[in-house]
Amino acid sequence: MNPVLEPLFRTVRATHPKADLRLIERSYDVAAYHHRDQKRKSGDPYITHPLAVATILAELGTDDETLCAALLHDTVEDTAYSLDELRGDFGETIASLVDGVTKLDKVKFGDAAQAETVRKMVVAMSRDIRVLIIKLADRLHNMRTMRYLPEHKRHQKSRETLEIFAPLAHRLGMNTIKWELEDLAFAMLYPKRYDEIARMVSERAPRRDLFLQEVIEKVSGDLREAKIRAVVKGRPKHYYSVYQKMIARDVAFDDIYDLVGIRVLVDTVRDCYAALGTIHARWNPVPGRFKDYIAMPKFNMYQSLHTTVIGPEGKPVELQIRTHAMHHRAEYGVAAHWKYKEEVGAPGPTGKVKPGNDMAWLRQLLDWQKETADPGEFLESLRFDLSVSEVYVFTPKGQVIALPEGATPVDFAYAVHTEVGHRCIGARVNGRLVPLESRLGNGDTVEIFTSKSPDAGPSRDWLKFVKSGRARNKIRQWFSKERRETAIEAGKEAIGRAMRKQGLPLQRLMSGESLLALARDLRYPDVSALYAAVGEGHIAAQAVVQKLVASIGGVDSAEEDIAETSLPTRLRGRPRGGGGAGVVVAGDADVWVRLSKCCTPVPGDEIVGFVTRGHGVSVHRADCTNVQQLKTQPDRLVEVSWSPSDDSVFLVAIQVEALDRPRLLSDVTRTLSDQHVNILSASVTTSRDRVAISKFTFEMGDPKHLGHVLKAVRGIQGVFDVYRVSGASN
């Protein structure tokens, strides 16, 4: 036997004792021969990759045909070995698996233009789910060795992993793969956020481990007394799932991390319920947090009892109670089910589930890809269908329709048919009339009323409450086709109204250049598309106005720019020269000089001066976004240089990016105050992904002090980035 294969075979013997080891060895020999002259980006021999993929699959307990296909999965694509030769050497099944993975390798994810190729994946998956399992293992090993790729490739692959592959692993119940893919992609895409969470986890680990040990000992002791054989252990916390919970539950890191997770593994389903009773006898359960996924398994065959109790010191403790077989299925999902030919039928007393249930989802997806003309819409449907939480509702004829959690009768109407959605005017749920924005629950029977009017169509208000990507897309498409002109006019009027309300200079701000630049920043092809987006309610008019004003450096700059477009006048003597600003104008030391607020220059920055009307010389950084516009009037540009004195004061703007938490703003302002800076203005926004972005403008006498200020702010818990900003460029 080849000694290289010994670790693989050791795993295979443990997880799949009946596997044909000779066939696996022959597959390795063929793959090693054909990849013999190839190297990976890391410099390792190429065969190390198929061998690593096969080892991952062996750990999941897959069958020997899957392991052979994993070893051979790149031969047809990357070597002279043909599919016909492979079919002759290894048979039809292994050849079709390799062919499916080869087609899958050509799939590109992301842009709507590339979405067409996602269909190949769906077709390959529906023929044999093992194709996707090999591809997931292949992606996992590639993610582990991603550091050898160029940065843009790393980001592209990581985004695909988070958007497509990790949700597919979840859909197939393969949690071990899902968690590792998520953490690897998270670390690659958002290294600063990942490092900050890792640092916060490591700081709290010792205290938390003591509490965890206390809970485990008490649960184990209670179960021993009740004569229930059980394994009790702590549940690992995955960094990406901690971050996702911060976003989903809108709570701070401490509230999630202090929530201790315990897993109880028992022998039988009866023991699961007995263990639950024993635990509830010691600690009070939290109302509404009990879930019975044994009686009603999740879509990916996951079974377990979930409960949250108020544990020692009044802290909440999350518990999952399941049998060893359920645990194996929860970790490895569909990959652990090569015995599925024996395991037919619904969940029985042993908690077994037929993996074929998952094939129904694939068949449904296959039907969708046949009926959907637009590949972008199909990709959106796929992403929606990979959403984690679902509710199952019935049509009046008893057909089951799966919708995302929080879905409404409008989502249901669009899931039935696009025209039913467009013409929907009312709904009856369980025989009672309900508003269209009502949330549907599991088991509801929904009946939709439609309008017969030829002008019937959706309402813009629906976009505020629909949950499914399919419904959202269909509503937007209807408005963009039927009402584009009306929307453009409405959008233009809304922006004008918002500007007039703030007393802003309409003509200047709504010039073609400013709006076109903003439209492109917001990913709209032209100004008309931006107006239409405002008219259709995709973006608020107020937000557009704020971004327009910000792009030219705030309200003051907007007024300054108006002044700068007027004719120059002779500068009159001012009571003070440029000394206070620390800048002198070449050839005239007695000119009033003003540091521009749009880019806040400080000594050391390259600067240019611009003669304004009645406001002396305005000084900008050479790389300020407004300088390009000023260069169109070269006769008004003057040479300026730094000459700071002891009483010179400079404005500095910094941006702080941090994982949101309570008291974050007070910690940052206290730190700035400790550094003896005078804060003039501050603004804070928190994005949907729990990132707080704070901007501070403050006065500073010595610009060299800025480095100390930035270092002090970077040391605050949760802060992962802080830097100086100027106008639109950092």
Q: Which pair of structure tokens corresponds to residue 72?
A: 């051979």
Residue 286 CA to residue 450 CA, distance in Å, equals 42
Cα dihedral sign, 335-340-345-350: negative
CA–centroid distance for 260 within its chain = 25
Residue 33 CA to residue 37 CA, distance in Å, equals 9
- The active-site residue out of 20, 78, 105, 255 is 78
Residue written as token pair 């017969």: 452
Residue 210 CA to residue 258 CA, distance in Å, equals 12
Exposed / middle / buried, residue 713 (Cβ in 10 Å: 0-12, 13-18, 19+): buried
Q: Which pair of structure tokens corresponds to residue 713?
A: 């702010």
Residue 599 CA to residue 602 CA, distance in Å, equals 9
Residue 122 CA to residue 171 CA, distance in Å, equals 13
Closest by alpha carbon to 440, among 422, 428, 457, 426? 428
Strands (DSSP E) contained in 311-429 are 316-323, 390-394, 400-404, 424-429
Half-sphere exposure of 724 (CA within 13 A, CB side): 20
Half-sphere exposure of 170 (CA within 13 A, CB side): 18
Half-sphere exposure of 450 (CA within 13 A, CB side): 15
Residue 503 CA to residue 549 CA, distance in Å, equals 12
Tell me the CA distances in angstroms from 347 to 275, 344, 369, 388, one per residue in order: 20, 9, 30, 21
Residues with Cβ within 8 Å of residue 562, at least 6 apart in sequence: 505, 508
Which of helix, strand or coil describes residue 655? strand
If you ran DSSP here, which 8-state letter would residue 111 be given? S
Residue 153 CA to residue 548 CA, distance in Å, equals 33
Residue 621 CA to residue 626 CA, distance in Å, equals 9
Q: In what order do the strands lie in the sheet with 637-638?
A: 593-595, 617-621, 607-611, 637-638
Q: Which pair of structure tokens corresponds to residue 92?
A: 């039809």
- The active-site residue out of 29, 77, 419, 489 is 77
78 is catalytic: yes
Q: Cβ atoms within 10 A of the Cβ of 619, count? A: 25
617-621 vs 593-595, strand pairing mode: parallel
Q: What is the CA radius of gyration of the chain?
A: 31
99 is catalytic: no
Residues with Cβ within 8 Å of residue 689, at least 6 apart in sequence: 247
The two most distant CA atoms of the chain are separated, in Å, by: 97
Cα dihedral sign, 354-355-361-367: negative
Tell me the CA distances in angstroms from 625 to 171, 523, 557, 576, 723, one per residue in order: 47, 19, 12, 28, 18
Q: Which residues are catalytic?
A: 77-78
